[in-house]
Every structure is written in C-alpha cells, then in structure tokens.
Amino acid sequence: MTTENVTLGADLHGGGPADEQPRHMSQGTFAMLLFLGSEAMLFASFFTAYFMVRFNVANNVWPPIDPVTGKKYVLPVAVTGVNTLFLVSSSFTLWWGEHRLQKTGDRKSLERGLLVTIFLGLTFLVIQFNEYWHLGFSPRDQAFGSTFYSLTGLHGLHVIVGLTLLTICYVRSRRRHEFTAERATVLWASSLYWHFVDVVWVILFCLVYLL
C-alpha cells in the first residue's frame, strides 16, 4: 500500500516499474477496499433514511402500525436468524478454501470451498426471496416498507454480485487453473467483497430485525 522509498541513485538505469517490487497489498485488493468504503457509504445513506424515518417521524414506534389491519407489521426474526447463520457460515467456508490455498497451494480445496460458499449464498437468497413472498407488506406500505425493502433489497443485490464474483473465481480456478498462494488478487478481492456483504448483513439484521 505504501510506495517504497527508493534512495537516490538506486535503480537509476531502468529498473522495473515500481509495481514489480514487493508490496503488502496488490492494487486490485486496495481498489476493492476503497470500493467497499464506497459501498459502505451507499448502505449508510439507506440506513440514514431508515433511522430518520424511524426516530424522527415514527418516534420509534417500530415496526409501525399497519393502517389497514390496525396491527403492527411483523418481521420473521427467527427464520431470518437461521438464514443469517447460513450467510455467516458461508464466510467461514470461503475462508477455509482460501486458507487451504494459501497454506498448501491446494486448489481443489479452494474450489470445494467456493462451491459450498456459493451454495450457502444461494440458500440465503432463496430464503430471503421466500420471506419477501410471505411478508404481507410491500415497499409501498408506509415508509417502513420502503426502508425495509430498500435495505434488504440492496443487500440482496450485493449478494447476487458477490455470488457472481465467487462464480467467476470458481470458473477461473477450474478452467484456467489460476490462483496460487502468492498470486490471487481476484480471489482476495472477491472474498473481501463477500465478507463485506456478510458483515453488512449482520449489522442490518441487528438494526432492522432485532433492534
């Protein structure tokens, strides 16, 4: 991440470009970290909406009362809690695959790890989709519905993007035998993204479902 201080006179006549020197972090990983900062701010803007609606307007009467039925809206905390476990465990399976690659250079384990992760991510998506189907309120129902669907929907989109990235990694590993312990920027960046999606979900689950 830092540029090496090359003393005057060293490498005067055409040493390699600066990026051939050892660095702690590859350019791609650094870019992904910055991008995740940007993504975090995108979620922050929707969380801002959520909190302002919840505390400024609704005075924390939350979930608010459905004007049609006269009852409070209900969120399926238990099912989603289980679903959260799926997603969190997917981070660990991904970590296992990467760990195997890094320690032993075992690409087969990486592929297995990726497959299980993708499977868990898909499971999460399906359960979340099923939840949408059965919630009984839509994005048009009160600001509550709007903020709930926008936050979870935005996260769902990120899960889809994360799954795409992991699938690309799987394809590259299978078909091109890419990724070694030393050189796997695309893999590290994708897994960073996936962990980010997980962390955001844990925060989202706590703030939207539990709080």
> Which residues bind to another protein, rule: CB under 8 A?
1-8, 10-19, 23, 27, 30-31, 34-35, 37-39, 41-42, 44-46, 48-49, 52-53, 56-58, 64, 139-147, 149-150, 164, 168, 171-172, 174-176
CA 102 – CA 54 distance, rounded (Å): 45
**Between 99 and 112, whose beta carbon lies closer to another protein?**
112
**Of 133, 198, 208, whose CA–CA distance to 159 is shortest?**
198
CA distances to 119, 121, 156, 205 from 190, rounded to whole Å, are 16, 14, 16, 22
Non-local (6+) Cβ contacts of 44 within 8 A are none
CA distances to 170, 192, 198 from 205, rounded to whole Å, are 29, 20, 10
Q: How far is the CB of 97 from another protein (least distance, A)?
A: 18
Q: How far is the CB of 90 from another protein (least distance, A)?
A: 21
Q: How far is the CB of 102 from another protein (least distance, A)?
A: 21
**Between 34 and 82, whose beta carbon lies closer to another protein?**
34
Q: How far is the CB of 173 from another protein (least distance, A)?
A: 9
